[in-house]
Amino acid sequence: MADFNLPKKLLLGSATAATQIEGGDKNCNWYQWSLDGKVGNGESSLTGADHYNRFKEDINLLAELNQQCYRMSIEWSRIEPSKGKWSSDGIAHYREELSLLREKGILPLVTLHHFSCPQWFQDKGGWTADTAVEDFISFCEKVVEEFGDIVNEWCTINEPNVFANDTYMDGKYPPGHFGDMKSYFKVSRNMVIAHIKAYKLIHRIRTEKGFSGETAVGFAHHLAYFESSRKGLLASLGRGLITRLFQTVYFKGMVEGQLIAPLGSGYPEGKGCYCDFIGVNYYSRHIITPTLNPGALFGTIDFDPNVPDERKNDLGWEIYPPGLYKVIKKCWDKYKLPIHVTENGLPDADDGKRASFIREHLKEVKHLLDDGVDVRRYYYWSLLDNLEWNDGYGPRFGLIEVDYNTMERHVRPSAEYYAEVCKNHMVKEAIE
């Protein structure tokens, strides 16, 4: 692979989510989930990477690593720790963090919902409650009024598909239901409606208040590349069904405003285009094998068992860069909307594969750009080692290593490599 250039208009950076790095929040539902022993090795979201206290150090590192954009989330439970009560401390904290990013010339993309919520919201039934959308929109309104002057790029909801699946089908995230398909659909429907309302709200507030900068609102879709294990009608039906349930219903809803079966029908908030960009979180390729077991959403989704270890990350997921091209191209051909690669990364504790992972995936981004696809951002997941949800702190996704005993940060060699890429927009073949 020869060296290649990337255009300057493609901003390069990294991504995080509050619950995974901040630590110290007892009002978030992941705190109770940790107390219930549901996080690997008895670990707790209370630990985090102490980012809440060390955000200045971390933003300095971001700047030293030449990153131009940063995707972060605002923790709902920090802003509204109990229903209807706004926390001035939480608001002041994020104001300081976002202002510092701006001072350093780093463009923030703020996620409003990244898998976690306040415990009070969870206690009301979380995203299955009839009041869920209203509660979330009231939080969004507060946040956009408070920070809309310094944030113009917004990601409403992270991975509604993974969220609905892991909360109500796989039982990995609170409230930990298994095979509860009815709730899976209810959560998905509520998230679609919440996204559309948030889209309209963000545009309205930023316009009314005359905030500067082009408003860009989207959501982050988890798009794995799906392949069938077999040929034939049943296999293609299985793949089609899974693609519909895991990908298409969210595109239809969050981009076009349309509810399709099994989420519902019609246009609950009117027909329109409710994304200024599409956020793509891409990690791997999955093989689908059809099954008639409804608990498995009509098909099993696995990694290819024949992939050699050198092409797997520390969690055993296949490293498959061409999938990034394929999922984005499909999305572009359908919608022609700007693309943000909102997450792409791997757990790699010894840092042996991360630099080449980044290089190979950026090569796919380059192909997309050459083919006319409007890719505008690339956020490596993640800036720091963090809480990998129910898997705990074991998997190491960070460009920056965190020593959880001392909370010291160590810049990994791959982060130095990526810093050069960010600085020059030139991707070198040689990894020193």
Where do contacts with ligand GAL occur on this chain (CB under 6 A)?
Answer: 17, 20, 158-159, 162, 222, 281, 343, 381, 388-389
Dump strand ranges (E) for 29-133: 69-73, 107-113
* 397: nearest Cα among 49, 33, 3: 49
CA atoms within 13 A on the CB side of 395: 20
Distance of closest approach, residue 318 Cβ to ligand GAL, in angstroms:
14
Taking the least distance from each CB to ligand GAL, the nearer of 120 and 381 is: 381
Of 119 and 386, nearer to ligand GAL (C-beta) is 386
Reduced to 3 states (helix: H, G, I; strand: E, B; else coil), residue 62 is: helix
Query: In angstroms, what is the minimal distance from the CB of 346 to ligand GAL?
Result: 9
Dihedral over Cα of 201, 115, 53, 283: its sign: negative
- Give the pair of three-digit tokens for residue 5: 């250039």
Supply 410's token pair: 């160590």
Residue 58 vs 159, nearer CB to ligand GAL: 159
Give the number of other Cβ atoms within 10 Å of residue 371's Cβ. Answer: 11
- To ligand GAL, the closest distance from the beta carbon of 161 in angstroms equals 10
- Angle at CA 337, nearest 5°, toward 334 and 341? 105
d(CA 25, CA 323): 36
CB of 342 to ligand GAL, least distance (A): 8
Asked whether 172 and 389 are in contact (CB, 8 A), the reply is: yes
Cα(72)–Cα(66) distance, integer angstroms:
17
Q: Considering the complex, what minimum distance in angstroms separates the CB of residue 115 from ligand GAL?
A: 6
| Smallest separation (angstroms) from ligand GAL to the CB of 73 | 9
Element (H, E) at 401: strand 400-403
Residue 164 main-chain phi, psi, to 5 deg: -60, -40
Q: Kindly tell me which of 6 and 327 has the beta carbon lying closer to ligand GAL.
A: 327
Comparison of 392 and 413: residue with beta carbon closer to ligand GAL: 392
- Cβ closer to ligand GAL: 97 or 388? 388
Q: Are 163 and 118 in contact (CB under 8 A)?
A: no
Name the minimum Å distance from CB 198 to ligand GAL.
18
| Structural contact between residues 266 and 327, judged by C-beta atoms closer than 8 angstroms | no
Q: Which of 107/224 has CB closer to ligand GAL?
A: 224
Least distance in angstroms from the C-beta of 427 to ligand GAL = 23
> 48 — alpha (psi -120 to 50), left (phi > 0) or beta?
left
Structure tokens at 176: 């930990």
Nearer to ligand GAL, 68 or 382 (CB): 382
Closest distance to ligand GAL from the beta carbon of 381 (Å): 6
Quote the tokens at residue 296.
Answer: 């498995």
Residue (219 or 418) nearer to ligand GAL, CB: 219
Closer by beta carbon to ligand GAL, 258 or else 281: 281
Name the DSSP class of 224: P
Residue 384, strand partner residues: 400
- Calculate the alpha carbon distances from 205 to 195, 272, 278 in Å: 15, 19, 21
Least distance in angstroms from the C-beta of 391 to ligand GAL: 8
First-residue to last-residue Cα distance in the chain: 15
